[in-house]
């Protein structure tokens, strides 16, 4: 399973003194993109060639808040859902083992404003992962 180690930055915390809800989506996105890049799928390069990988569904369950300077890991698991969607199961875990959030994302590829087949690099990557999970 892919893991990305990060640390909370003070500006990510809001007036409650903890990381703002929306920032977790940033962490999760950053981990998904790092995961994809590790598989040879470059999000920015795909966007430049007209393949826009878009999140179509996001579910986040917040268990405990992150605080300034906390160290944590963001996990990423990916699998195919039909021919047009990629599903990401993610978890944020603080370094002491506390689960901070569970998340489920579904993504699709949009070309010229319409749903399109997933880019080949991503399909290859999904095939390998699906086989690895059997």
Burial level of 43, CB count in 10 A (0-12/13-18/19+)? middle
Q: How many residues bind its own copies (CB under 8 A)?
A: 37
Please pick, among 10, 14, 42, 70, the residue that the annotation labels catalytic. Answer: 14
Tell which one of 38, 61, 115, 117 touches its own copies (CB under 8 A).
61
Binders of its own copies among residues 78 to 97 (CB under 8 A) are none
Q: Is 10 a catalytic residue?
A: no
How far is Cα 117 from Cα 71, in angstroms, rounded to an integer? Answer: 37
User: Residues 94, 31, 7, CA angle at the centre, nearest 5°?
Assistant: 40
How far is Cα 2 from Cα 132, in angstroms, rounded to an integer? Answer: 13
Tell which one of 3, 5, 26, 115 touches its own copies (CB under 8 A).
26
The set of catalytic residues is 14
Which residues of this protein are in contact with its own copies, per CB under 8 A? 9-11, 13-18, 20-23, 25-26, 29-30, 33, 37, 43-44, 47-48, 52, 54-62, 65, 67-69
């Amino acid at each position: 399973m892919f893991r990305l180690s990060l640390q909370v930055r003070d500006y990510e915390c809001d007036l409650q003194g903890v990381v703002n809800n929306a920032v977790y989506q940033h962490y999760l996105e950053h981990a998904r993109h790092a995961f994809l890049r590790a598989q040879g799928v470059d999000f920015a390069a795909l966007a430049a060639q007209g393949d826009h990988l878009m999140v179509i569904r996001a579910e986040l369950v917040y268990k405990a808040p992150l605080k300034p300077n906390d160290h944590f890991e963001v996990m990423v698991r990916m699998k195919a859902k039909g021919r047009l969607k990629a599903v990401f199961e993610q978890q944020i875990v603080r370094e002491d083992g506390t689960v901070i959030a569970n998340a489920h994302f579904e993504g699709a590829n949009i070309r010229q404003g319409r749903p399109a087949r997933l880019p080949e690099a991503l399909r290859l990557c999904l095939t390998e992962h699906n086989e690895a999970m059997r």
